[in-house]
Structure 1
Amino acid sequence: MVQWRGRRESRNVIDQRGTRYSGGAGGGGGGLLALLPLLFRIFGWKGAVLAVIIVGGIGLFSGGIDSALNNLTGGTSQPATIEGEIPAGTEEAARFAAVMLADTEEVWNEVFAEAGQQYREPKLVLFSDAVSSACGFAQSAMGPFYCPADERVYIDVRFYDELAQMGAGNGDFAQAYVLAHEVGHHVENLLGILDRADAEGRRGGGAAANLMQVRVELMADCFAGLWAARADQRFNLLEPGDIDEGMAAAAAVGDDTIQRRAGRSVVPDSFTHGSAAQRQRWFMRGFNNPDVSSCDTFSAREL
């Protein structure tokens, strides 16, 4: 079990667990088609690949990319909000997320300071069922995601139950890995990696664009491993078995695992997040060598 109780909770948490939306959830008229203009306006790249960047490596559990994208609704209009009840049984998960976010702040402020730079902390939005972001309207079925347009991480804390059902186990380090991966995308954004992915994506297409996206996702996994190692050094965070939980979570979200779970053949050229083995390997690379330079997936000949 991760040692988290009694420690600092981040102030960068926006709790929207009680917010509901009247109409528009799930959207009519084809979520992906509506989303593409918004994505293109924000990022200037092919909508499908950009959507994957926004969604992040963890948020494509429920049926893969197509399912995730179709749970987004684009456009600038958003449904009206209604304040409701906070879902029962989510309070401890919310506090856990706030402590883990604080831990990422401690680690990444230190890493950036070592490089003579200043870290800009992201916000974490906790929600239930659906949420409005600068990247569009999203339902919880798409899972956690990072939006570069507003520099926020979005998590429905009930997703952690789904994570366990997918074979990642019931341990809380798997949950920490989810958050650390999405914060890893924020770090990529601050370092200009997502801009680089945009530029390279303009020149690529098909399998080449997918491979570029795999590099983005595996880098975020490596950053999650970097965070885990440094957080353990600072807070004595980990106990025996925690890393095994992280490995189980990484395996559960590998593209090959997702394709097999969906009853499809494994098609490596279609991967956008990396295989189970790749995701595990890059997490451990960051954990064993907790330095940003060790996570350079763009220079790696083998992933």
Structure 2
Amino acid sequence: MQWRGRRGSGNVEDRRGMGRAAGGIGIAGTLVVLAVGYFFGIDVTPLVQGMDQGQQGEVELSERDEEWGQFVSVVLADTEEIWQPLLQEQAGIAYQDPTLVLFRGVVQSACGGASSAMGPFYCPGDQRVYLDTDFFDMMAERMGAGGDFAAAYVIAHEVGHHVQNLTGTLDEVNRARSSGSEAEANAISVANELQADCYAGIWARQAQERFGSLDVGDLDEAMRAAEAVGDDVIQASAGRTPMPDSFTHGTAAQRQEWLMRGFDSGDMRQCDTFGADSL
């Protein structure tokens, strides 16, 4: 992917240097202490407070961290330049730039606390995308989905959720999910995620047309990433039999199909996963 030396976004908030200093017991250790206090009827609040003192401190970022930060900033800038005119042209809605928060380990958002184990996520409450860049390394090392364009697809997918928020789709999804059964709620969630994949495909097409961003093999990287995060692949990798009723993001084949539908068409109207006869 051609990204070096290009404009970065001013809407990146980097919290990765605000981690815990070495020597602290961390969240897991704190939970152990709290559990001991609970089972033995001891008030451990002063102990926990004492442990927290001095644990927070600046963490030096590695060269790899710095490079990921620059990469994320450029990709976010591309999404801004693409969606600002596109959303107005295709949906008649003014685009509002989201903020992308880089964090490490745990983070607080308007949607509550979260850990990096959740993976990247978008919070409509504060219009922020939250991302631990270690996720990109995990994609490469454990999921067979490495490459800079695979990482760009992840960012574009989360920005796709921001587009859904601006169009009112997320509000409709949340209302619909709260009024149905668990299986129905999961099916709505799948449609929601596949639409974000389709929007990521639109971004990829525009990035190539406007900036010439794609190198040979980049689209294959995105397709491998879409496959790796399919519900069926994730469940099978965990040693479980894939259970379609429990899927919340879509199968590998579905995620690839909707990513390519967005890339091939460049048209938001072709991303209507909610009205499709089949996904």
TM over 0.5: yes
Structure-2 separation of matches of 1:193 and 1:25: 35
Q: Give the counterpart of 1:110 among 80, 85, 90.
A: 85
Are the equivalent residues in 2 in contact too, given 1:144–1:155 (CA < 8 A)? yes
Give SS of 2:130's match.
strand
Q: Give the partner amino acid of 1:112.
A: L
* Residue of structure 2 equivalent to 1:179: 155
CA–CA separation in structure 2 for the residues paired with 1:208 and 1:168: 31
Q: Secondary structure at the match of 1:97?
A: helix
Say yes or no: does 1:25 pair with 2:23.
no
Q: Which deviations, in whole Å up to 9, do the C-alpha atoms of 1:13-33 show, x marking residues without a partner?
A: 00111012588835749xxxx
Q: Say which SS state the counterpart of residue 198 (structure 1) adopts.
A: helix
Residue equivalent to 1:72: none
Give the alignment of 1:55-94 within 5 angstroms. 82-88=56-62, 89-94=64-69
**Structure 2 regions of 5+ residues with no counterpart?**
33-51
Is 1:129 the equivalent of 2:105? Answer: yes
Cα distance in structure 1, aligned partners of 2:99 and 2:165: 14
Residue 152 of structure 1 corresponds to which residue in structure 2?
128
Equivalence for 1:35: none
Q: CA deviation at 1:132?
A: 1.4
- Does residue 226 of structure 2 align to residue 240 of structure 1? no
- Which residue does 1:16 correspond to in 2? 15
3-state SS in 1 of match to 2:56:
strand
Using a 3 Å threshold, how does the CA distance of structure 1 residues 23 and 147 change in structure 2: closer, same or farther?
A: farther
Q: TM-score scaled to structure 2, two decimals?
A: 0.86
Provide the alpha-carbon RMSD of the alignment: 1.8
Q: 2:70 aligns with which of 95, 105, 109?
A: 95
Aligned length: 253
Alignment partner of 1:230 out of 201, 206, 230: 206
The secondary structure found in structure 1 opposite 2:186 is helix
**Taking every aligned residue pair, what percent have the same amino acid on both sides?**
53
Write the distance in 2 (CA, Å) between the matches of 1:125 and 1:97: 10
Find the counterpart in structure 2 of residue 265 from structure 1.
241
Structure 1: stretches of 5+ with no match in the other structure: 30-78
Distance (Å, rounded) in 2 between the aligned partners of 1:188 and 1:238: 25
Deviates more, 1:132-141 or 1:237-246: 132-141
Give the distance between the partners of 1:275 and 1:267, measured in 2 at CA: 11
Matched residue, 2:139 = 163
1:264-283 to 2 correspondence within 5 Å? 264-283=240-259
Amino acid of the structure 2 residue aligned with 1:167: M
Q: Relative contact order, CA 8 A, sep 6+: which one is greater?
A: 1
Per-residue deviation, 1:131: 1.3
Q: Aligned residue for 1:7?
A: 6
1:166 deviates by 3.1
SS at match of 1:3: coil
Provide Cα deviations, 1:116-162, integer angstroms capped at 9, x if missing partner: 32101100001112211111122212211111111100111111100
2:93/2:167 contact within 8 Å kept: no
Greater helix share, structure number = 2
**Separation in 2, partners of 1:164, 1:172:** 10
Residue 143 of structure 2: SS of its match in structure 1?
helix
Report runs of 4+ in structure 1 exceeding 6 Å deviation: none
Does residue 299 of the first structure (1) align with residue 275 of the second (2)? yes
